[in-house]
């Protein structure tokens, strides 16, 4: 680090914030404090110390590594979240690893990483759609939780009974009882933003925004396409325009290809299986166009069905006359879907909201 | 009593190593800063990468007791902090009937110390808040209050403030996102799977009777499984279990029959076993070190 470490640290944190890492002031103060305890001439120690204090989630780590490399030269540790593991030893194994890497690079190059232009909607349209969709206030029902609350007739609550006895000098005058508490059921929205869904993506994200606004902490929203992107945080913004703008900046694969099976697998691996999909209502917005094999999509849909409370598939083409679910992806996933709905107009979105409420 | 100071990161790494936990550079730095800065350490990572084991090793290294607070849905202050022992209070009231002082039922001896209070009273202690993501988000706000003050106020008794605040380790499996207010207070470390050499060493530590060659093969096999996109990639605990199973069956190296007989120690999903037998094992067995 240079002569004035604090100034350099502040500038570094600013570049991190530009890259999307929440390196706010209090974290910078913590980093400055932490650097006091380590050897600032040792790049490894500086790397780990700043990473420990400035990052706060796994998504931050690749951004941090890139920014660190830019500022201080090559990052000393390749510790990424998904590390490529190679089997050392015999000849040929390293060749396999290299081939896999080339494949991955090629796949990335295939993605059309375009950033979506939200301004494509006219202001009048946007205002009207926003008003109508916000009125839907989509949400799902409740589930019984293991938590108890006072009242009801379910059973005797010994602790509270004892407490009232204490007040009455040890006589059990009133039996305190409890009842089960209801909790909002989790809702997960997966919005396909690939090229074939482009005319609907805005509408659907607005719908997702309305849902997130109703229950910000029981709702998760993701976009799927060539990759999985979590947009819940962006959609928590109050203003629909600002939320859509923020979401558009987060999503790298607007109007790209579709690898629905892989995206769904990524969702289940990183979020779904750990809890986000367990007992949740999962709504998938997609036309089922699948560039990858439909077999993977079928497997993952089955896996999703085992975790979720209900799976709703929204296909904009369903509302059109003569629709039969004939895209390969749609056919593969159909056996695991509880309801197949349209959702290409505000009216059909209202139907969807009604179905979600009763599920 | 205060915690022993470690001069630098390698010194702490060596101490952790001696306590049976092999830290990499990141974990050692995280533990070092957690001790020096008295800042809670938030550990995230795949299940089975040794998040809980680190807390135990840290407790051994600083010579403090490990107090564990396992979180679950619906946990509240009376299970995490303290609770009054109502039956004993009642008995006390009955015994002292007539001449008893009503206030005497709110005495320290009628207080049940739950993990957080116990950690504060023990001092020095390492408080492990395990799987904080399983608790409700209201609980986070409550935890934040305790962590900010390092003190607990009991209305009937007063404030309990230890001379030396405990070292706090929080773990999360990311089933939901934690609030930023809590994260801001913590050092954040993502614990990744160990590299091959480290994993071999860990296996050999836990299973000293396993030959070096087999340990290497097990580590390579586990690494290949992790790269194969399974539903539940095996963690370190599974790797050790696998090595144990192989040793008990008298295997000295990975052979197709030995692997088939012991695969259940490593992979716990039917789909994963099928995938592994079809995609991973043929290639793996052909190029073992």
CATH of the domain at B44: 3.40.50.300
The answer to whether the beta carbons of residues A68 and A50 sit under 8 Å apart is: yes
Interface test with A, best of B30, B31, B32, B181 (most A CBs within 10 A): B32
What pLDDT score does B71 carry?
93
**Helix and strand counts by DSSP (H, E) for chain A:** 14, 8
Task: Provide CB contacts within 8 A for B29, sequence distance 6+.
Answer: A38, A45, A48, A49, A52, B9
Set of chain B residues whose Cβ sits within 8 Å of the Cβ of A170 = 90, 93-94, 97
**Inter-chain residue contact B175 with A274, CB threshold 8 Å:** yes
Q: Which two tokens stand for residue B204?
A: 């050999």
What pLDDT score does B241 carry?
94
- Shared domain check, B36 and B126: yes
Task: Provide CB contacts within 8 A for B174, sequence distance 6+.
Answer: A58, A270, A271, A274, B44, B133
pLDDT band of residue A125 (cuts 50, 70, 90) is low
The answer as to whether B2 is a domain residue is: no
Among candidate residues B191, B219, B251, the one where a domain is terminated:
B191
- Shared domain check, B155 and B22: yes
The answer as to whether B102 is a domain residue is: no
- Shared domain check, B225 and B176: no
pLDDT band of residue B289 (cuts 50, 70, 90) is low
Residue recorded with tokens 């043929």: B282
Task: Please give the tally of structural domains in chain B.
Answer: 2
Closest-CA residue of A relative to B35 is A37
Q: Which two tokens stand for residue A306?
A: 């085992």
Mean pLDDT taken over chain B = 88
- Shared domain check, B210 and B174: no
Which B residues in the span 43-62 are in contact with A, Cβ-Cβ below 8 Å?
44
The answer to whether the beta carbons of residues A31 and A59 sit under 8 Å apart is: no
Q: Which one-letter DSSP state was computed for residue B233? A: -
- Shared domain check, B207 and B177: no
The answer as to whether B248 is a domain residue is: yes
**Inter-chain residue contact B284 with A87, CB threshold 8 Å:** yes
Closest-CA residue of A relative to B183 is A56
- Shared domain check, B133 and B31: yes
The answer as to whether B4 is a domain residue is: no
What pLDDT score does A91 carry?
33
**Inter-chain residue contact A56 with B229, CB threshold 8 Å:** no
Ramachandran area for residue A290 (φ above 0: left; ψ -120 to 50: alpha; else beta): beta
Interface test with A, best of B92, B105, B287 (most A CBs within 10 A): B287
The answer as to whether B287 is a domain residue is: no
- Shared domain check, B128 and B49: yes
Which B residues in the span 217-256 are in contact with A, Cβ-Cβ below 8 Å?
220, 223-224, 226-227, 229, 231-232
The answer to whether the beta carbons of residues B128 and B119 sit under 8 Å apart is: no
Among candidate residues B191, B219, B236, the one where a domain is terminated:
B191
Q: C-alpha distances in angstroms, B96 versus A163, A324, B90, B92?
A: 18, 81, 10, 6
Q: What is the ipTM of this complex?
A: 0.84
pLDDT in tens, A221-261: 999 988 888 999 889 988 888 888 888 888 888 888 888 88
pLDDT in tens, B127-183: 999 999 888 878 888 888 888 888 888 888 888 888 888 999 999 988 777 888 899
The answer as to whether B49 is a domain residue is: yes
- Shared domain check, B131 and B247: no
What is the spatial distance between Cα B131 and Cα B143, in angstroms, rounded to a whole number?
A: 13
Which residues share a beta bridge with A340? A313
- Shared domain check, B65 and B129: yes
pTM above 0.80, yes or no: no
**Residue B132 domain boundaries:** 9-82+112-191
Among candidate residues B191, B212, B229, the one where a domain is terminated:
B191
The answer as to whether B162 is a domain residue is: yes
The answer as to whether B95 is a domain residue is: no
- Shared domain check, B169 and B39: yes
Which of A163, A265, A276 has the CB atom closest to B175's CB atom? A276
């Amino acid at each position: 680090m240079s002569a004035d470490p604090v100034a350099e640290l502040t500038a570094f944190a600013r570049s991190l914030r530009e890259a999307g890492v929440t390196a706010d002031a209090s974290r910078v103060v913590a980093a400055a404090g932490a650097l006091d305890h380590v050897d600032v001439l040792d790049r490894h120690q500086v790397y780990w110390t700043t990473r420990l204090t400035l990052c706060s989630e796994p998504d931050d780590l690749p951004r941090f590594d890139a920014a660190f490399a830019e500022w201080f030269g090559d990052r000393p540790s390749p510790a990424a979240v998904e590390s490529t593991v190679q089997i050392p030893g015999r000849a040929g194994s390293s060749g396999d690893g290299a081939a896999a890497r080339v494949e991955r690079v090629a796949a990335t190059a295939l993605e059309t990483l375009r950033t979506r232009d939200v301004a494509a909607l006219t202001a009048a349209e946007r205002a009207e759609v926003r008003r109508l969709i916000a009125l839907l206030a989509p949400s799902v029902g409740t589930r019984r939780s293991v938590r108890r609350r006072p009242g009801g007739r379910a059973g005797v609550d010994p602790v509270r009974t004892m407490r009232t006895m204490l007040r009455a000098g040890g006589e059990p005058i009133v039996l305190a009882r409890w009842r089960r508490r209801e909790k909002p059921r989790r809702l997960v929205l997966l919005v396909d933003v690939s090229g074939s869904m482009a005319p609907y993506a805005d509408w659907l994200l607005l719908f997702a925004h309305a849902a997130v606004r109703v229950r910000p902490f029981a709702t998760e929203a993701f976009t799927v396409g060539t990759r999985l992107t979590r947009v819940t945080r962006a959609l928590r913004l109050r203003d629909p325009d600002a939320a859509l703008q923020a979401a558009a900046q987060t999503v790298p694969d607007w109007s790209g290809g579709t690898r629905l099976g892989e995206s769904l697998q990524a969702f289940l691996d990183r979020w779904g299986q750990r809890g986000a999909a367990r007992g949740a209502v999962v709504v998938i917005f997609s036309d089922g166009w699948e560039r990858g094999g439909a077999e993977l999509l079928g497997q993952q849909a089955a896996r999703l069905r085992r975790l979720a409370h209900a799976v709703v598939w929204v296909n904009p083409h369903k509302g059109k006359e003569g629709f039969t679910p004939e895209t390969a992806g749609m056919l593969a996933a159909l056996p695991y879907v509880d309801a197949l709905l349209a959702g290409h107009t505000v009216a059909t979105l209202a139907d969807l909201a009604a179905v979600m409420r009763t599920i | 009593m205060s915690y022993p100071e470690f001069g630098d990161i390698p010194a702490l790494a060596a101490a952790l190593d001696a306590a049976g936990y092999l830290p990499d550079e990141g974990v050692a730095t995280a533990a070092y800063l957690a001790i020096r800065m008295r800042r809670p350490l938030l550990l995230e990572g795949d299940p089975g990468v040794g998040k809980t084991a680190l807390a135990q090793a840290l407790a051994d290294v600083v010579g403090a007791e490990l107090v564990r607070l396992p979180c679950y849905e619906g946990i509240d202050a009376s299970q995490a902090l303290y609770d009054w022992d109502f039956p004993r209070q009642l008995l006390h009231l009955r015994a002292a009937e007539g001449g008893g002082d009503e206030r005497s039922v709110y005495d320290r001896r009628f207080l049940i110390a739950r993990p957080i209070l116990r950690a504060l009273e023990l001092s020095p202690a390492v408080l492990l808040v395990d799987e904080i993501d399983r608790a409700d988000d209201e609980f986070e706000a409550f935890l934040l209050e305790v962590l900010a003050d390092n003190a607990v106020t009991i209305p009937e008794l007063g404030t309990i403030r230890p001379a030396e605040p405990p070292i706090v380790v929080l773990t999360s499996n990311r089933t939901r996102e934690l609030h930023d207010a809590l994260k801001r207070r913590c050092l954040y470390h993502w614990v990744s799977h160990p590299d091959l050499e480290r994993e071999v060493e860990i296996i050999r530590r836990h299973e000293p009777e396993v030959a070096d060659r087999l340990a290497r093969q097990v580590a390579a096999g586990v690494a290949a499984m992790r790269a194969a996109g399974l539903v539940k990639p095996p963690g370190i605990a599974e790797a050790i279990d696998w090595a144990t199973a192989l040793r008990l069956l008298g295997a000295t190296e990975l052979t197709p029959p030995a692997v088939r007989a012991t695969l259940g120690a490593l992979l716990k999903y039917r789909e994963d076993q099928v995938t592994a037998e079809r995609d991973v094992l043929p290639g793996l067995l052909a190029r073992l070190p």
